[in-house]
A = this chain, B = another copy of it.
Amino acid sequence: MKRRDAALVVLSFVCGTALALPRLGAAPTSPEPAQAATLASKDISLDQAQAAVAAALAKAKETGTKMDIAVVDAGANLKAFARMDGAWIGSIDISIKKAKTARFFDMPTGEIGKLSQPGKSLYQIEVSNQGLITFPGGVPIKGKDGTVIGAIGVSGSSVENDHAVASAGADSVK
């Protein structure tokens, strides 16, 4: 089907980098089949999460915006949060949902939004997971080796500003 092929191309493109990352849970190469191996994973620390929030706050001040900023860990569970004075109350939930959405699928939220439009392959995906936010403002956070260790979600201004502030936060983590 043509519509679906197009979506596949977009999705493949979007996931390109992520799929090239070291994968969790590679099959153990040892010959004895007996015992299944525990996965060695990585997770964002509170220091990193707070540094990401601070970087996002600095970017928000620089751009004169008032933002809600949320950071989740590798398990998509809330790690840090800050709401600027005067920022929208309705953006508390949106920023958290953006962060969760970005980690749920290891890609910026806006990429999912392109595929969830009417007629596209992921139409209405937003009703899942107790509510996804699929417009820009959620960005995965990667560690030094490129592994996704969490995500940041920002809400409070235009989606362009939200994305820029979220990216500033994510880029501050290495």
Residues of A within 8 A of B (CB): 4-5, 7-8, 11-12, 23-26, 35-51, 66, 73-86, 88-94, 97, 100-101, 103-106, 113, 116-119, 121-136, 143-144, 149, 157-161, 173-174
Contact = CB atoms under 8 A, between A and B. Distances in A.
Contacts of A26: 85
B39 A44 contact: yes
A131 B135 contact: no
A23 B60 CA distance: 15
Given A81-B81, A127-B133, 9 more contacts: A36-B45, A41-B43, A46-B85, A49-B82, A50-B82, A75-B77, A90-B101, A121-B158, A124-B132
B160 A4 contact: yes
Contacts of A130: 93
A126 B129 contact: no
Contacts of A82: 46, 49-50, 79-81
Contacts of A49: 82
B78 A80 contact: no
B121 A118 contact: no
Contacts of A11: 157-158
Given A46-B25, A119-B117, A129-B90, A75 B78 contact: no
A12 to B, nearest CB: 7
A47 B79 CA distance: 19
A80 B83 contact: yes
B46 A38 contact: no
